[in-house]
Structures are given as structure tokens and as C-alpha cells.
Amino acid sequence: MGRLLFFSLLGFIALVVGLPAAVVVFSLQKEALVAKPGDVNLADFKNAQNLAERYDPRRMPPDQVTTVKATSDELDTLLKGAFSSMKQIATRVKITRFGVIAAVSAELPLPNNPLGRFLNIRTVIAPAPDGFEITRFAVGSIEFPPSMIKPALLFGLDRLVGNGKGQPILDSIRSVQVAEPEVTVAFMPPPRLMDTLKEAAKQHASVSDPQIVRRYYNEIDDLLSEIPRGRQASLIEVIRPVFQLAQSRSRKLDPVRENEAALLAIAIYFGDARFERFVGEIRSDEAKSRQRSLDHFKLNGRHDFVQHFTISIGLTLTGGDLAANLIGELKEAKDSQKSSGFSFTDIGADRAGVNLAKRAVSGKNAAHRLQRILANSHSEDIFFPRFTDLPEGLSTAVFRQRYGDVNSPKYKRVIAEIDKRIFKTRLFK
């Protein structure tokens, strides 16, 4: 979703509003309107997730009005969480008697210049008994007249979700009421809203070429037919030949794109098939219907580590490393309330996957080096250290007694130890 919001933002400013390039250039400023806050923490991410789950559009009937309520803090953390993988973007939301005030600062990858490199956006959504009203929209020092805002927004939505589909989305907002510090929005989603958003996400937020990912997915399929189901196998037995293929293809093709596609295929096959949504059609109908057991593939002798590792790879490539790490921690926080408990072992597997994915696509030289190492490795120790000695299965009470919370020095020392082990493996030296 962060990627979709990012493309929406840039599209609205440049193509959507239809401004000449010169106007966009002169919207640049030397200072950021919103200072970049510290990293999104677990509490921020959890608050954003809770708000999103509370008002999930999939649960809103299209034939009746749903009332959505949110505070300044909730909206602020939701927007901050949505852009958490975009480290060059800072956001702020505040609810006042004038309405919902939102600000975004994007640091563009520009060289030093007299105009600056920050794109600052400010907008105000005012209270409205019928529909909604944007009373201010400014990009840099350029203020857009109110009469221009809604037509531009409609044009932008049509560009984003499809011609003719923007107006029903705008019409779905029936009213906006403000009682500081809370905003209440009456919302009646149009029919097939989620299908519309999913299709838009596929078009604007695709992370790889489906044909390339399919090539690696089929390679994995062929490899598994050669590994007997009854024999315990390390995931390196799949990773090695997959990266031999990536190395071979990269003699003529981009190694970063090949690594990305290879890892997405691994994430779809061993982690979660839903990563396919970020790429396009990968699996055949036969592959989708096949019930192939993979629990004989292990890391540190455990299959659950394979799942944590590969899912974190997929999350990193589709949403960024910060979001991937936070999702891993959030899952463990939830597990602490269940019989499985909070496990630093799982977080170790998560962070190993995050760091491998980051390294694989960090540049051509790093991509080639990673291919050489993985294509010639017969031991998982080359990228996956031992985690089984770390504390695991901790209940909420035990976790709080030992570590307090995820921001405590004791907790951070364990995370630092995990990262130290990862970066001592050969792949990261």
C-alpha cells in the first residue's frame, strides 16, 4: 500500500494535476515542511494496523453508510505507517476545528541546486455535511485555487484506478464532521471497491516482471521433483541452483532484477503465495491446485525458520525492510498472547531474510557478489547463522518481566546480537 500511495502522490503532483514541468520544478523548497521523525516503532505500526483493521473496506457493505472515526494520533500513525518503507518521505496529520490538516515532505534525489530538493505538500479537508471539501492544497509556495482542487483530484483518481472509477470513490464520502481531536466520516463504498483498488495496485505497484519470476518459480518446481519427500533438506539446496541460474542469466541481463525475481519466486513458493499479487500471474492453474508439502525443507533444522525467512524476503521486496522488520516483531508480540509465545529465534530468521533481500538488490556489484557466493555454497551457514539458542516461547508476562518492551535496552541488546550474527556470515562480510 505504501508504494500505491507513493505513486498516487507523485501522480497527483505532476501528471495528475497536469502542470507544466517548470511549475513542478519551482515548487521545490530548500527546507522540509515536516521533519523526518525517528523510525516507525512497533506501537506506531500496531496503532496504524488496528485502525486499518477496524475500518477494513472489505467489511463495509456497499449498500449502507458506515461511520468511520479516527483521532489525530491514529491518522498520523496510519499515514506514517503507510509510508514507512519510503524513507525519503515524512508525513504529519492533525485534526483542528478547521478540519483535517495533512502535510507531506518528500526529499527528492536531486543534486545541490539553488531551488532546493524538498517537495512540500499541505492540504486541509474541511468539515462538510454533504460530501467532503478540500479548502486548501499547496505544493511548495504554489497555492491551488479551491475550484481547481476537486477536478484535479477526480482526474488523478481516474488516472490511478481507471477512467470513470474516480467519481464513485469521491461520491462514497457522504459527510465529514470534526470534533477536535476526532474526525467522523460517513462512508458508503461503491460496489467492487476492493477489486478496483487491487487492480490499481497491480498496475502501479508491481515489483518485478512476472515472466522473469515465473522462470525462477518453474526452476524451483523442477528442483523439488528431484529431492525425495522423505529426506530432510536445507533450503540451500534450492537457493544454490536458483542463484546459479541467476548468475548465468546476469551475464547479459541486470543482476539486480534477476536477484529480485529469484527471491520473489522463493518467497511465493516457500513463504506465502499471496506475494504473487505484487507481481502478476506466476503460477499455473495446476500449480495453484497442487498440494505439495514443503515441511522437509529446513533452516537450523526447523521448517518454521524457512517460512519466517522467505516471508520476510517477500515483505522486504514488496514493502521495504523497515515494514518487514516491524511486521515480524508485531507477529511475535501477538504470539506472546498465545501458546507459541514470543520468540527471538523467529525474529532472527525474519531479520536474516530482510538483510539478504536488501543485499541482493542493493546495486549491481553487490548483486553479482551475492550470486557468486550463493551459487557455490553447500551450507546454509553462509547466510543463516545459528538462532536456536535464543529465548523463545515467552508469554506476555514473562516477556515484560525480562525485557519490558521492544524499546528497552535489554530488548535492543538481543536484536543487536541477532544482527551481529547475521553480519558475521560470509555473505555479509
What is the distance between the alpha carbons of residues 57 and 192, in angstroms, rounded to a whole number? 10
Mean pLDDT, rounded, for 360-383: 96
**If you search the block for the grid coordinates 449502507, which residue do you land on?**
64
Between 256 and 396, whose confidence is greater?
256
Q: Provide the pLDDT for residue 426.
A: 96
Q: Provide the pLDDT for residue 420.
A: 97
Residues with Cβ within 8 Å of residue 237, at least 6 apart in sequence: 223, 227, 297
CA distance to 73, 191, 315, per residue, from 357 (Å): 32, 38, 9
Mean pLDDT, rounded, for 78-95: 77
Residue 230 pLDDT level (bands cut at 50, 70, 90):
confident
Residue 227 pLDDT level (bands cut at 50, 70, 90):
confident
Q: Which residues pair with 103 in a beta bridge?
A: 92, 122
Q: Provide the pLDDT for residue 307.
A: 96
Give the chain's mean pLDDT.
85
Q: Provide the pLDDT for residue 84.
A: 64
Query: Three cell numbers at 257?
Result: 532484477
Residues with Cβ within 8 Å of residue 20, at least 6 apart in sequence: none
Q: Where are the alpha helices (DSSP H) in 39-125?
A: 42-54, 72-82
Q: Provide the pLDDT for residue 410.
A: 93
Is the pLDDT at 392 greater than 90? The verdict is yes
Residue 260 pLDDT level (bands cut at 50, 70, 90):
very high
Residue 276 per-residue DSSP state: G
How does pLDDT run across 142-156, given as a tens digit for each residue?
A: 888 888 888 878 877
Domain boundaries defined on the chain: 2-198, 210-428
Residues with Cβ within 8 Å of residue 71, at least 6 apart in sequence: 95, 181, 182
What phi and psi values does residue 361 have, to the nearest 5 degrees?
A: -120, 20
Between 204 and 327, whose confidence is greater?
327
Between 232 and 37, whose confidence is greater?
232
Closest CA to 280 of 357, 182, 216, 210: 210
How much of the chain exceeds pLDDT 90, in percent? 43
The answer to which of 12-16, 300-304, 331-335, 373-377 has the lowest mean pLDDT is 12-16
- Return the number of other C-beta atoms located less than 10 Å from residue 294's C-beta: 17
Is the pLDDT at 387 greater than 60? The verdict is yes
Q: Please tell me whether residue 104 adopts helix, strand or coil conformation.
A: strand
Mean pLDDT, rounded, for 266-270: 97
Residue 27 pLDDT level (bands cut at 50, 70, 90):
confident
Query: Three cell numbers at 51?
Result: 485502525
Mean pLDDT, rounded, for 189-193: 81
What phi and psi values does residue 422 have, to the nearest 5 degrees?
A: -60, -45
Is the pLDDT at 353 greater than 80? The verdict is yes
Is the pLDDT at 115 greater than 50? The verdict is yes
Query: Three cell numbers at 288?
Result: 495453484
Q: Provide the pLDDT for residue 331.
A: 83
Longest dimension (CA), the chain: 69
What is the distance between the alpha carbons of residues 424 and 429, in angstroms, rounded to a whole number? 6
Closest CA to 380 of 347, 422, 336: 422
Residues with Cβ within 8 Å of residue 153, at least 6 apart in sequence: 12, 134, 166, 170
**Secondary element (H or E) of residue 144:** none
User: With contact defined as beta carbons under 8 Å apart, do 139 and 120 qualify?
Assistant: yes
Closest CA to 310 of 356, 251, 353, 257: 353
What pairing do the DSSP bridges indicate for beta strands 297-298 and 233-234?
A: parallel
The answer to which of 28-37, 374-383, 387-396 has the lowest mean pLDDT is 28-37
Q: Provide the pLDDT for residue 28.
A: 80
What is the distance between the alpha carbons of residues 227 and 216, in angstroms, rounded to a whole number? 17
Q: Please tell me whether residue 227 adopts helix, strand or coil conformation.
A: coil
Between 102 and 191, whose confidence is greater?
102
